[in-house]
Amino acid sequence: MKKRKKSTAPKLPFSVEKGASPNVVVVRHGQIKSGWEQWYLLRSDGHTDNPDSNISLQLDHLEEAKARNAGILDFGDLFCAMQGKFDKRSDKSKVRPEHQFGDYLDSLVQWMADLYEPYAQNWIMQGTGNHEASILHRHETSLIDRFCQTMRNRTGAAVLTTGYTGWVAFKFRIFRTQNQSIRLWHTHGYGGGGPVTKDMIQRSRQLAYIDNADIICSGHTHDQWVTKDVRIRLNTADFVEQRPCVVVKCPTYKDEYKSGVGGWHIATGKPPKPLGAYWLRFYLSHEKKEHAKSSNAVIKFEVREAES
């Protein structure tokens, strides 16, 4: 068995491990004191091997993630991978010169690992999208598993896989006396989204069956929005609590519209789509609850658009 290389990258302010279920990732934070904050990059639909993918914008966001010691969470369709011999959607004009070889899928994995290796230490988890699922169905190979294993072999970083859906459990140890968890559920996404609803219908359906998620993330339709719903519950101390659930629709890095001259995207009446990602920022706050006599230290979060 090949030994992992020891990483010389600076130690990140969190630790990552697999959860009890195969599609669960646990991220732990300790030594939390006043003024503490931690950032994460939420991204999806890079379609990086497609010539229409804005790699420059991706690298801008990834470099910012490194500068912030931020974790990176990707929710699938990292690969486009549509130009194989047996793919009916194949269009050789959409193949980068680096991938015009007989071992098309192998070249994608190696090229992608070359591109993202500098960010491996920050890359917490990688989800699977419909493009990768299609390759697994057609060619019986998982691009995501191969990509993540290559990144692990090269760097020794975690780069954990989840699946088409999964959970990230953020665990916080505050002042060495308090524990708190914030749970993120993710799916790559499904369906066509719709030019009017922009996938808001799927959001409502997910809220009906996803229990105890504080954050819900998806991509797939290349739309972009953030909403907040507030839920009530009776806690274990029999007090009524209000708990928000923030739903994040991640955009894409693939610009299929461009000037609108032509192509499948244009011919089927689809509009330009937003490019980019989101930042998730956790921070320590102090709040006084209605039934408490003093303020309580608590971890809160906000979601911001990553600047383009």
* CA distances for 150 relative to 5, 16, 91, 115, 158, angstroms: 12, 18, 27, 12, 11
Closest alpha carbon to 289 in 250, 223, 239: 239
pLDDT at 5: 44
pLDDT at 172: 98
Residues in the chain with pLDDT < 70?
1-10, 84-94, 100-101, 288-295
pLDDT at 6: 43
Contacts of 88 (CB under 8 A, 6+ apart): none
> What HEC string does the chain produce?
CCCCCCCCCCCCCCEEEECCCCCEEEEEEEEECCCCEEEEEEECCCCCCCCCECHHHHHHHHHHHHHCCCEEEECCCCCCCCCCCCCCCCCHHHCCHHHCCCCHHHHHHHHHHHHHHHHHHHEEEECCCHHHHHHHHHHCCCHHHHHHHHHHHHHCCCCEECCCEEEEEEEEEECCCEEEEEEEEEECCCCCCCCCCCCHHHHHHHHHHCCCCCEEEECCCCCCEEEEEEEEEECCCCCEEEEEEEEEECCECECCCCCCCCCHHHHCCCCCCCECCEEEEEEEEEECCCCCCCCEEEEEEEEEECCC
pLDDT at 258: 83
pLDDT at 291: 58
pLDDT at 307: 83
pLDDT at 101: 64
pLDDT at 176: 84
pLDDT at 262: 77
Contacts of 228 (CB under 8 A, 6+ apart): 244, 245, 246, 247
pLDDT at 95: 72
Which domains are seen in the chain, by residue range? Answer: 15-79+107-305 (3.60.21)
Question: Which pTM does this prediction carry?
Answer: 0.91
pLDDT at 28: 98
Q: 140-170 in b/e burial notation, b at 16+ Cβ within 10 A?
A: eebbbebbbebbbebbbbbbbbbbbbbbbbb
pLDDT at 267: 82
